[in-house]
Amino acid sequence: MKRILTALFFLAVCISACNSSGSGSGVINDSARTKITLHSFSDTSKLDTFRISLKGDKPKEMELVFTITPESGTPVFMKIFKATDLLDNYKDNVDLGKKKKQVKFLQAELNLFFAEENFLEPAVTENEEADKNTPDKNFFAELKETGVNGFQFRTGKESKVYIAWSVSGQKVKPYYECCK
């Protein structure tokens, strides 16, 4: 009987510990800090690794680090988003007063970063035309011709950047930026 009670007590402690780690404590476990997906980007016949990681322990120190790496293993794109910039951008629309809510918001941003609608195949369709939000009209024309894929990401609540691989420049470039 004593063994059964000891086993039940141990089981209760384990369940309690498992349920309290991360659920509302404002702590993100390591496996939830990185998201990875594969999509063709720098070469339409091969897959690139898209990775977003949440670095840091406190919202004031956190960063979202986004990289795109082709099969060669050398990253072709890196963007670092400071958590404070993201939080400041949304504080008028979202209640981010407490650290727990800030961490939850950053986790949601991480989880939504690779939503399917952010992958654009192709980056530019033959019917699309460059406009005032197109930083490089020649690159836009190149994208129409090559048919490479693109990716879009938010830099704020109302601003997005669209990027694609430049075959002629052999690098990732923005081809559309709206609306700051």
Would 19 be classed as within a structural domain?
A: no
Would 78 be classed as within a structural domain?
A: yes
Would 38 be classed as within a structural domain?
A: yes
CA distance linking residue 34 with residue 42, whole number of Å: 22
**Mean local confidence (pLDDT), 18-35:** 56
CA distance linking residue 87 with residue 102, whole number of Å: 7
Would 6 be classed as within a structural domain?
A: no
CA distance linking residue 5 with residue 7, whole number of Å: 5
Give CA torsion, residues 46, 41, 76, 144, to 10 deg: 130
Domain span at residue 69?
28-178
Conformation bin of residue 129: beta by default, left when phi > 0, alpha when psi is -120 to 50: beta
Total number of domains in the chain: 1
Query: Which residue type does 150 have?
Result: G
Model pLDDT, residue 29: 52
Would 163 be classed as within a structural domain?
A: yes
CA distance linking residue 21 with residue 13, whole number of Å: 12
DSSP state of 47: P
Would 16 be classed as within a structural domain?
A: no
Residues 7-17 have pLDDT tens digits of 333 433 333 33
**Mean local confidence (pLDDT), 84-108:** 88
Model pLDDT, residue 94: 82
pTM for the whole structure? 0.80
Would 93 be classed as within a structural domain?
A: yes
CA distance linking residue 59 with residue 114, whole number of Å: 21
Model pLDDT, residue 157: 79
Would 12 be classed as within a structural domain?
A: no
Instruction: Provide the H-helix boundaries in the chain.
Output: 2-20, 83-90, 99-112, 137-146
Query: Which of 72-76, 90-94, 152-156 holds the top average pLDDT?
Result: 72-76
Model pLDDT, residue 20: 36
